[in-house]
Structure 1
Amino acid sequence: MANVLILGAHGHIAQLAEKQLLKETTHHLTLFLRNAKRLTITQPDRETVIDGDAANTADLAKALKGIDIVYANLAGSNIEAQAKAVVAAMDQAGVKRLIWISTLGIYDEVPGAFGQWNHQMLDGGYLETYAAAAKVIENSDLAYTIIRPAWLSNKDVVSYETTEKGEPFKGTEVSRKSIADLVVKLINDPSQAVGHSLGVNQPHTDGPKPSFY
């Protein structure tokens, strides 16, 4: 049993991971988010909700007491500031294991027509800020795994493959359920993929853009 801190716990992937963790494991979950009233917990003996700001090191440091693993499902234009706060707070607390959700394209690793389309859709502030945040994580001394999902769907399917940093990204899309499943696997075996940045896609989804565009 591990004590897991989920940052950005109101996010769709985070809620899917929460449900899977409650169903399949005995871990205790600390759910960290702004405006905590948005969440309704189902197992109060295994879930603690904390209202806080992920860009505030002091808020994070309080939430990190007794935590073994941090899963960060954060977003926003201040994602780099949030990354810096997470690293600082984890260093303060002596917590090492971090699972960090990023996005595809931060290394310009998406090839061909889809890569061009991805740039058109995400350049102008999004890719740049997520790339900067990933650099903060990679330059830290944390035992991190960065996850770079393809374009996300709500398909009720768990089907995915991964690529490493330095390899061309595969596919165009992946389900949120698949990303949640990968997060749960890493939480259950935190020795997996330490120091890795994983591109994640559903197999056989190659093309110039995702099927839902």
Structure 2
Amino acid sequence: MTSVLILGANGKIARLATHQLLTETQHSLTLFLRHADRLSVSDPSRERVIEGDATDVAQLSRAMTGQDIVYANLAGSNIEAQAQAVVSAMKNSDVKRLIWISTLGIYDEVPGKFGEWNHQMLDGGYLEPYTAAAHVIETSGLATTIIRPAWLSNDDTVNYELTQRNDSFKGTEVSRKSVADLVVSIINDPTTHIGASLGVNQPNTDGDKPAFY
């Protein structure tokens, strides 16, 4: 059994991953979020909820005690500060394995018309802090995996392919359920994708922009 700390546990992908972990594994889950009353525990023997701020190193360090893996599903304009705090807390707590959700476009890796559209949508306050946060993670010295999803849908499907850091991004969209499945697969085998930055897309969704736009 693995002990997993989920940061930003109220996020849509995090909720899907939590449900899958509870359904398919015996892992122990610690759910960390700003407002604990947003979550209800379905299995008290395997879940605990901690209210905290992901920029607070002391709070994060306490939550990381005894954890094997940290899965960070964080967001916000202060994402770089959150990344710095998570890295500091992991080093304080001697936790090595980190799964970090980022976004497509942080390496200017999205080609063609879709890449131009993605820049138009994300430049000017969103892409820049996520790029900076990813740099913090990549240079942390921890055993990290960065996940860069395509534009997210709520489709009830698990269907995805991966690209690596230096590959051109494929596709335009992917389901949140697919991203959650990838997270769970890494938690189940944490030796996989160490040091990788994975682009995640649904096959055959190439185009100038996602179909739902």
TM range (shorter): over 0.9
In structure 2, C-alpha distance between the alignment counterparts of 1:135 and 1:206, rounded to whole Å: 27
Deviation readout 1:103-158 (Å, 9 max, x if unpaired): 00000000000000000000001000000000000001100000000000000000
Aligned to 2:166: 166
In structure 1, C-alpha distance between the alignment counterparts of 2:131 and 2:108, rounded to whole Å: 10
In structure 2, C-alpha distance between the alignment counterparts of 1:75 and 1:57, rounded to whole Å: 17
Residue 41 of structure 1: CA displacement? 1.0
Paired letter, 2:117: W
Residue 188 of structure 1: CA displacement? 0.2
RMSD: 0.3
Task: Structure 1: state its 5+ residue gaps.
Answer: none
In structure 2, C-alpha distance between the alignment counterparts of 1:192 and 1:173, rounded to whole Å: 24
Aligned to 1:76: 76
Residue 56 of structure 1: CA displacement? 0.6
Aligned to 1:124: 124
In structure 2, C-alpha distance between the alignment counterparts of 1:48 and 1:103, rounded to whole Å: 28
In structure 1, C-alpha distance between the alignment counterparts of 2:52 and 2:92, rounded to whole Å: 17
In structure 2, C-alpha distance between the alignment counterparts of 1:35 and 1:22, rounded to whole Å: 21
Aligned to 1:99: 99
Aligned residues: 213
In structure 1, C-alpha distance between the alignment counterparts of 2:142 and 2:50, rounded to whole Å: 23
Aligned to 1:155: 155
Paired letter, 1:110: V
In structure 2, C-alpha distance between the alignment counterparts of 1:141 and 1:91, rounded to whole Å: 9
In structure 2, C-alpha distance between the alignment counterparts of 1:91 and 1:141, rounded to whole Å: 9
TM-score normalised to structure 1 length: 1.00
**DSSP-derived class of the 1:50 partner:** strand
1:196 aligns with 2:196: yes
Aligned to 1:178: 178
In structure 1, C-alpha distance between the alignment counterparts of 2:4 and 2:185, rounded to whole Å: 13
**DSSP-derived class of the 1:146 partner:** strand
Percent identity between the two aligned chains:
71
User: Which stretches of structure 1, 4 residues or more, deviate above 2 A after TM superposition?
Assistant: none
1:89 aligns with 2:89: yes
In structure 1, C-alpha distance between the alignment counterparts of 2:184 and 2:149, rounded to whole Å: 15
In structure 2, C-alpha distance between the alignment counterparts of 1:55 and 1:75, rounded to whole Å: 11
Paired letter, 2:10: H
Aligned to 1:138: 138
In structure 1, C-alpha distance between the alignment counterparts of 2:195 and 2:46, rounded to whole Å: 29
Task: Structure 2: state its 5+ residue gaps.
Answer: none
Aligned to 1:115: 115
In structure 1, C-alpha distance between the alignment counterparts of 2:208 and 2:198, rounded to whole Å: 21
**DSSP-derived class of the 1:156 partner:** coil
**DSSP-derived class of the 2:65 partner:** coil
**DSSP-derived class of the 1:104 partner:** coil
